[in-house]
Amino acid sequence: MTAPQDLSSSQLVRLVAGREVATRIRDKGFIISSVVILLVIVAAVVIQVVTGSGDEESRVGLVGGDASVVTALEAQGEALDVDVEVVELGDEAAARTAVDDEDVDGALLVGDDAELLVRESAGGTLEAIVQGAVGQLAITEQLTEAGISELDVPEVAVTALDADAAADGQRVAAAVFGVVILYSLLILFGQFIAQGVVEEKSSRVVELLLATMRPWQLLAGKILGLGLLALGQIVTIGVVAVVAALAFDIVEVPGDLISTVAIVIAWFVLGYAWYAAVFAVAASLVSRQEDLATVLMPTSMVLIVAFFIGIQAASDPGGLLARVTSYIPGLSPLVMPVRQAAGEVALWEIALAVVLMVLAIVLVVRLGGRIYSGALLRTGGKIKMREALAAERA
């Protein structure tokens, strides 16, 4: 059997990563949070389907009309994107009863002078349907009397000045939803890492671990192990969201949705690497769970600010605030995906944001690793970063 001290650095890192994965997949909090996130996605899709499915409907009672009136009412409804259902009624008394009982939205009495009966008010849509149908029938009758059986009405060509507006809106909406999920997972897994560090310090397990490996190996293993879980979770969420959106025909351009999900996942990887290192280093400065919120507050605030700026960027992706913050490490993972989805960013801007984020990750890991190393074996209270760096050098 191979002793821990005989293992290479990569093997030790994988060992710690495997331990983190095995621990978390049995953790009730992780399981519950995963199920809740998936249920939220399914609920969001269902709500979108329920609120966005089907056209507006209108039930119109008809007294004294023939098939031409029914056809005219249905044609006007189709023109206004309203599903018109015509209910034929026997007389005016029946029409008044149907309107009063709200069996129909209104009743059209056809005679020498057409009349529309409504309970309180007709509303713009119902009045437009009935008025348009009556007007159409009157014009048709007058043309027939004049000996004109058919009019050559030219078809109006429709040209959209911004044909991609609908697709852009769907991409931005998908990116905003992705940022919400990204923010939730960063907070969740950041807390997991921080709590694990404090638990090991308070139980003195860390002393046993550091007897066989270096602090940076322990830190790297924690970040890698939970990172794999987080990546698996966000990929699963992305797949579920895409499949649900396509199954219920919510999106018009599947390729745009898939590319947006891929962008969010890519930025999640960069964001997780940065925030995970910061959360772990901050947690190493305390030895009790009660003190954890204090040291995590600055990082949590940065994450909250990034979240709100990312949401705001959806309405103004080309604004100064969105442009500047999309380059700032720690903020860019939640802002840049929205700007990319809106098409308001050049390739060089994306490259610059990625490079700055990678440099920030390297800096945090190098400096944070030293703080983590100096603070990990110090117990008894909150440690200052200056003291942890001094302890690491010693």
Q: Are 227 and 272 in contact (CB under 8 A)?
A: yes
Check whether residue 257 and residue 171 sit in a common domain. yes
Based on the number of CB atoms within 10 Å of its own CB, is 212 exposed (0-12), middle (13-18) or buried (19 or more)?
middle
Check whether residue 123 and residue 212 sit in a common domain. no
Q: pLDDT tens digits, residue range 332-345?
A: 999 998 888 887 78
Axis-axis angle for helices 254-283, 332-342 (nearest 10):
170
Check whether residue 86 and residue 227 sit in a common domain. no
Q: pLDDT tens digits, residue range 18-30?
A: 888 888 788 777 7
Amino acid 349: pLDDT:
92
pLDDT for residue 52 is more than 60: no
**Angle, CA of 386, 387 and 391, to the nearest 5°:** 120
Check whether residue 204 and residue 350 sit in a common domain. yes
Q: Is residue 108 part of a domain?
A: yes
Q: To the nearest whole number, what is the mean pLDDT of the chain? A: 78
Q: Are 222 and 216 in contact (CB under 8 A)?
A: no
Check whether residue 309 and residue 389 sit in a common domain. yes
Amino acid 285: pLDDT:
83
Check whether residue 19 and residue 73 sit in a common domain. no
The neighbour count for residue 317, using CB atoms within 10 Å, is 23
139 Cβ partners below 8 Å, 6+ apart? Answer: none
Q: Is residue 159 part of a domain?
A: no
Q: Which CATH number does the domain housing residue 99 bear?
A: 3.40.190.10
DSSP string, 226-237: HHHHHHHHHHHH
* CA–CA separation, 136 and 127 (whole Å): 14
Q: Is residue 156 part of a domain?
A: no
- State the pTM of this model: 0.68
**Angle, CA of 251, 256 and 258, to the nearest 5°:** 90
Q: pLDDT tens digits, residue range 274-318?
A: 998 888 888 888 877 787 888 888 888 989 999 999 888 888 888
Amino acid 1: pLDDT:
42
Mean pLDDT value of segment 222-240: 85
Check whether residue 64 and residue 178 sit in a common domain. no
388 Cβ partners below 8 Å, 6+ apart? Answer: 284, 285, 370, 371, 372, 373, 374, 375, 378
Amino acid 5: pLDDT:
56
Q: Is residue 337 part of a domain?
A: yes
pLDDT for residue 53 is more than 60: no
- Strand, helix or coil for residue 254: helix
- Domain span holding position 37: 9-42+165-393
Q: Among 145, 176, 205, which residue terminates a domain?
A: 145
Please count the structural domains in the chain: 2
* CA–CA separation, 84 and 133 (whole Å): 12
Check whether residue 38 and residue 62 sit in a common domain. no
Check whether residue 216 and residue 84 sit in a common domain. no
